[in-house]
Structure 1
């Protein structure tokens, strides 16, 4: 039993599950294909779900359970996930003091999310009995949600809450400091890599959005009417596409992102570098392989993450500064410069006004200035009537 990539005749890619005879597991394939085509989820999402469902089906197979009814013993599955290697070669880890689990809480929760989605889909399509839903979900209301998430009518709403979920410790995503970004920028060895760093830290794009940019998405002229675009000033268009490199924009709707002179200058330098190496060759993707084969092929989102890791090491930062930290830095810098939350929301391409809040990490100097603006009790007394 293993996850397996599929390319449809339309060019759409997704992941499915095949058994030991390389036969597709029909019910799982139906769920994963619908997840990709009907719900518009990323290829990487179907890969993560397929890998999680492989573990679930492998547990059912090894313990003699039918996956259609195994939901009533999800607690045993969670225990199996924590202490049993997924592949047949490893031995079961014996729990005890100082023994490290095979999988952490976060990984187990991701597997459970995939299993719940699959079993719910099976119930809807009559492949599993309806009582399975009672085993994986419990009925809850919205009274424990923040006021902003509760019903505007004041009436209580009901929702399904997952029965089996581990409490994960909160991991704060720190912002990259301006000094770290500058050090990584200086550590770049090509115009292409400098442009990537600016697209991450100055524009705030995700790795999948950076890798998915096409040359036609960049409108760097002051007047773009000649390109058939009514947006004024230099900007780029972020568009969700089915890309051959697997790059994927998380945002369903396209949006326009203004860029400054630094990005324009970096793009011009990269265009010259690319032409000197490839000439007119290469794909229509903006960012392509220049220094190792396959030359001219688009870079991947994974390669952008690897670049950030290499730049962090090369710059001697002492920690890994990833693409998400660069995105957080961009959002925080906009606010530190006087930007409002709705502006950050639009620039990040997010739907909800509350979505940008986890991305904001105010500069310490701004926090200190905020405290210093608050008058002391002595000042209040001196200003009052005597």
Structure 2
């Protein structure tokens, strides 16, 4: 805590581990490990959370350096001030926004930053540093129904952790959907069979882009009554792997196994006839026979031809394709929003069907984001016209 440097010295360092997976820590410019941060980040080793926490935490530690604050002297009001600064869009009573020249944190990022800072300072308190701040952060609240449902023996649960740094709860309703005619426009502007496959699988399967780029050929069971015997219809297994060469991985971490050359377990998703058609079109026309990694999506040009395709490259392709189609900037995740909305409409609002089709952990997420009356719904229009005296 006495290791002083000028602002901007701290940096995130990526470490390559045996087995092909990565971990993240925070270093000083001379290569010394920031001990307190490293100890906290090691608790999340092997998960995607570690990378997110590393970049959120290094930003906070740089701010502490600018404010000349030591970890042992930080108070709750300092953390509240920091949370206000990283989310500020304009100058306010607390001063100029931190991260000047960069986009302020959005609501979800603020929630994640609050969880990161609380965990970090509670970890310090356990080690005997800044125990008063740890006491102020270790708040509890009455458990909600969702807390009880998630917990083993939830009916006897009496309290749940609370975070005084977290932003106020905000409902994420009305997600950004695709414009009308987007599917045909995107397919018409896709330049390769691989890109047409990506568009079709995103729209018909509701995949996250990390899930799609993390698929292996062995995960695809595209015929009826596949050897896994876990689904009678064509499907795919989404398996969380840490060692993918393109570093893409599924968000969900359901257990899976490779038994006698057959994948079982993971998150099972059905595939449409159009998905199967675009898959065979891609495999027979563009997939390199020399690829030895077994992953589905590959780079088609350049020095890296045949290498696994990264999620960032897929997002870049999608952005270029959407601009060529005259649709503006569209992200792959908008396809997932559109998929969930379409499934809910077709299933008459059945949350269980939408949850399983999209692979969400609970119906609460689906209900909070997607389960609402569309603003153009005829029933809503009729009700408002009655209220307005037009019917």
- TM bin (shorter chain): 0.7 to 0.9
1:185 to 184, 187, 190: 187
Aligned to 1:28, the other structure's residue is in SS state helix
Quote the offset at 1:345 in angstroms. 0.9
Moved more, 162-171 or 186-195: 162-171
Q: For 1:153 and 1:115, locate their aligned partners in 2 and report how far apart those are by CA, in whole Å.
A: 27
Q: Is the 8 A contact 1:138 1:161 kept in 2?
A: yes
Counterpart in 1 of 2:232? 232
Q: How does 1:98-247 map to 2 (within 5 A)?
A: 102=100, 104-106=104-106, 110-124=112-126, 126=127, 128-142=129-143, 145=144, 157-167=158-168, 172-177=174-179, 179-225=181-227, 228-242=228-242, 243-247=244-248
Kindly indicate whether residue 67 of structure 2 is the aligned counterpart of residue 63 of structure 1.
yes
User: Which residue is 1:333 aligned to?
Assistant: 342
Partner of 1:304: 314
Q: TM-score, normalised by structure 1?
A: 0.79
Deviates more, 1:152-161 or 1:202-211: 152-161
- Tell me by how many angstroms 1:370 deviates: 7.3
1:252 maps to which residue? 253
**Greater fraction helix:** 1
CA contact (8 A) 2:85 2:97 kept: no
Q: State whether residues 332 and 360 of structure 1, in contact with CA within 8 Å, keep that contact through their aligned partners in structure 2.
A: yes
Q: Are the structure 2 counterparts of residues 309 and 138 from structure 1 closer, same or farther at C-alpha, using a change threshold of 3 Å?
A: same
Q: Deviation at 1:356?
A: 1.7
Preserved contact between residue 336 and residue 363 of structure 1 (Cα < 8 Å): no
For 2:347 and 2:178, the matched residues in 1 are separated by 19
Deviations 1:158-187 (A, max 9, x none): 333222244587664222245112211221
Helix, strand or coil: the match of 1:356?
Answer: helix
Alpha-carbon shift at residue 325 of structure 1 (Å):
1.2
Distance in 2, Cα, partners of 1:47 & 1:347 = 28
Q: Which residue of 2 aligns with 1:295?
A: 305
Deviates more, 1:166-175 or 1:6-15: 166-175
Q: Which 5+ residue runs of structure 1 have no aligned equivalent?
A: 84-92, 378-386
Residue 364 of structure 1 and its aligned partner are, at CA, apart by 5.4
Secondary structure at 2:181 match in 1: helix
Structure 2: segments with no counterpart, 5+ residues = 1-9, 255-265
Partner of 1:16: 25
Which residue of the other structure, out of 262, 266, 273, is the alignment partner of 2:285?
Answer: 273
The corresponding residue for 2:259 is none
- Contact conserved, 1:204 with 1:331, CA < 8 A, in 2? yes
Find out whether 1:77 has 2:70 as its counterpart. Answer: no
Q: Give the superposition deviation at 1:156.
A: 8.1
Deviations 1:218-246 (A, max 9, x none): 11123323xx4442121111111112212
Change (3 A) 1:357 1:170: closer
Alignment RMSD (CA, Å) = 3.4
Give 1:280 deviation, angstroms. 3.1
SS across alignment from 2:206: coil
